């Protein structure tokens, strides 16, 4: 069984690249809006997603990605269009991840995906 992205679902995403501070990562909940395979035979696709940890008004993103690896619990991809290189590690989101990276968020007993649907 390999990790598979589903449209209209929330995920934890680590954006990895030289342009990010400290640990070279930026963290964000993302909601996958659309996945369009490019049928190139190179594991390439367009990922349209909502980038919750980005400024309001510019949160709808489209990246052309190439899958590097798919494990049971994660997907690692490289953006084909970014320079310097940008990588994405995507996996299931949960309350613990959300609190680690966004400790100011108060879920108040609400499931983290439901909270994101209401507030992101």
- Number of Cβ within 10 Å of residue 104's Cβ equals 5
Summarize pLDDT for 28-73 with one digit per residue, the tens: 999 999 999 999 999 999 999 999 998 787 899 999 999 999 999 9
pLDDT at 76: 98
**pLDDT score of 21 more than 90:** no
- Residue of 80, 91, 110, 104 lying closest to 30 (CA atoms): 91
Terminal-to-terminal C-alpha distance of the chain: 30
d(Cα 115, Cα 104) in Å, to the nearest integer? 13
- Please compute Rg for the chain using Cα positions: 14
pLDDT at 56: 80
Average pLDDT, the chain: 94
Assign residue 57 a region: left if phi > 0, alpha if psi is -120 to 50, beta otherwise? left
pLDDT at 73: 97
**SS3 for 97?**
helix
């Amino acid at each position: 069984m390999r990790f598979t992205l589903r449209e209209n679902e929330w995920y934890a995403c680590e954006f990895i690249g030289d342009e990010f501070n400290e640990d070279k990562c930026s963290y964000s909940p993302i909601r996958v809006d659309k996945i369009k395979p490019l049928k190139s035979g190179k594991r390439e696709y367009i990922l349209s997603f909502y980038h919750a940890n980005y400024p309001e008004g510019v949160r709808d993103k489209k990246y052309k990605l190439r899958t590097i690896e798919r494990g049971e619990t994660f997907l690692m991809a490289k953006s084909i269009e970014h320079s310097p290189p940008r990588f994405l590690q995507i996996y299931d989101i949960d309350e613990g991840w959300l609190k680690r990276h966004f400790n100011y968020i108060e879920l108040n007993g609400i499931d983290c995906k439901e909270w994101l649907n209401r507030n992101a």
